[in-house]
A and B are shown apart, each in its own frame.
Chain A
């Protein structure tokens, strides 16, 4: 009887241990998005957005060393990172060009923008970094191919500052992409 009481006490003491509540983060544009009538782009459409497989997890990824990463256990994305990246890029590109990029299957004659994110993480020494490619396909031919690689220092310690820095890097990427979307001469009117 005494032994059973001892085990019950130990179990209750285990259940009574402290737990850490996870934090959830969202990738969204920081720009003001007033209510307005939007027009879809005729010349360009959004194709595929590929995310490096190591990023495709719930936890934010932090680079421990050059070849070692660690996904956070308590600092998680509120949604799959693919959805966050796609939403942020389409919003900022549309904001920059004044036209919404529609899915490629809805704009058959448009030049298709394909994007690939190879790196989007933070480092222990307080930096966020990105490595991305985008290319334009017109009439089954690649007409433009670009790379964007940049790191950005965090404003403060912690994951929240890291998400802010990553958001800022993605916004820069969106601007670069928007700047490359120049209509072909025949369609420039």
Chain B
């Protein structure tokens, strides 16, 4: 029998038991990879203090959705602040931009409101305000105060400057015709330019109301003024009365300006009255010099062009004029007194822009060549107040623009009272030069002579003689009266004279008709005889 041998064949099959650890490995790798891929970024936020921050507890929220968790809070390298390391949610990545803001939300009590009360129970958290920048960022500087306006809020952010802080502070309202249209975001004082800087935000769509001609002024509190018409009280909204505020608008008489870009700078005026006194932004400084007294010319005095105010006097540069004179070695020569004036194109019905300013400067340059001159005129005869007048004098001597310090000078001419004063002075000098003393002495002598003549006895008898003469004259005239003897005699003489003249006339007539009548007698002239008609 054949022995059958068993065939042993080697089996190469892998045990299925190994599938389990393999599966576990794959799952583990997947989980690691998934965890790695779904993990959010780590960011760092710097704060001044760690007030309200707790590791593992403080959350990052955006629109009340958790966006991350503070992992670690530690001091910074300089030990003057803290850095919070935050594990962010992956979906927060698009929000982590360069200008994204973070601030700690906690209970705050301010002048205008109380916020964050809910954090008393839930604990503080970090609020995220996404920025508008496109650049991703992982390190941020946290805000100490929550921003009053979201970074992506529609509207216009502007800067205001003021030379005194007044009562406007961050958080105050920005009004337009009494309606709230924005807010003051920040207020800082710059020691370099010694100005208070405000950042304000005008909400859309009210930012369209802002143009280059608008002016901002403080409407905080209550303004009380007195005048001839009594007391005048001006207030803004109740918010502005209590907490201060800013309003804006285009002053009366000023043209609407162009669009303004964000972060444009405007001046914050103390009041609307302050704007009306100096409503224009653009202007040019000029110097006019006078060789006569500038008494009555004070800062703020008008500069007029043919009666239209185009600017104002800034100040008299007496000290600077003296210095220039000394530098030029002309001390003691009575140099002219320079006066600094400010000319504003907005006052000339031009737009209050830099382009208009260039037009005005060019106009003045050409005008001076054609006789434009400055003169000092008396504006008020009672007070003696003076003003600067600009006008054309075609007959004036040729002149051109000059320079004084850093300013352009406009040539001047003496007119009006100044010219009159000069003429009067000239006349007085002429009178002064007359030999009045000698004349008066001579006059006194003549008067003495006259007095002696009048005191003379014969002179005093003169009126009596005159009376006698007049009486004799009257008698003589009365002797010629119509009924007097003399008159009768005169009439008779005149009649005889008439007859003689008539005869002479007849004779001359005869001789003219017949010259030979002297020798050869002519027949006598016969008058026509009126005859009775036979009817």
Contact = CB atoms under 8 A, between A and B. Distances in A.
Nearest to A20: B524
Nearest to B522: A17
B531 A157 contact: yes
B29 to A, nearest CB: 146
Contact of B530 (A18, A19, A58, A123): A123
Interface stretch (B88-96, B233-241, B495-503): B495-503
A14 B521 contact: yes
B533 interface: yes
B506 interface: yes
Instruction: Please classify how large the interface on chain B is, using the bins under 10, 10 to 19, 20 to 34, 35 or more.
Output: 20 to 34
Interface residues of A, number: 38
B521 A13 contact: yes
A184 B533 CA distance: 46
B524 A157 contact: no
A119 interface: no
Contacts of B531: 124-126, 157
A179 interface: no
A158 B525 contact: no
Contact of A155 (B522, B526, B532, B533): B532
Interface string A74-86: 1110011000000
Interface of B: 495, 498-499, 502, 506, 518-522, 524-533
A11 B532 contact: no
A58 B529 contact: no
A17 B521 contact: yes
Contacts of A75: 527
A64 B521 contact: no
Given A124-B528, A126-B533, 5 more contacts: A57-B502, A59-B527, A74-B524, A127-B530, A154-B530
A72 B316 CA distance: 102
A158 B529 contact: yes
A107 to B, nearest CB: 16
Contacts of A108: none
Interface in A133-189: 153-159, 161-162
Given A10-B519, A13-B521, A79-B495, A62 B532 contact: no
A79 to B, nearest CB: 7
Contacts of B498: 58, 80
Q: Which of B518, B528, B530 has the most CB of A within 10 A?
A: B530
Chain B at the A interface: mostly helix, strand, loop or mixed? loop
Interface of A: 10-11, 13-20, 57-59, 62, 64, 70, 72-76, 79-80, 122-127, 153-159, 161-162
A9 B525 CA distance: 24
Contacts of A19: 524
A156 B527 contact: no
A120 to B, nearest CB: 14
Contacts of A72: 527
Nearest to A153: B532
16 contacts: A14-B518, A14-B521, A17-B521, A20-B524, A62-B527, A62-B530, A72-B527, A76-B502, A80-B495, A123-B530, A124-B530, A125-B533, A126-B532, A154-B532, A157-B530, A157-B532
Contacts of B520: 10, 14
Nearest to B482: A103
Contacts of A16: 521
Contacts of A155: 532
Nearest to B510: A73
Contacts of B524: 18-20, 74
Given A10-B520, A14-B521, A79-B495, A62 B502 contact: no
Given A14-B521, A58-B499, A70 B528 contact: yes
B492 to A, nearest CB: 10
Contacts of A11: 519
B530 A73 contact: no
A158 B506 contact: no
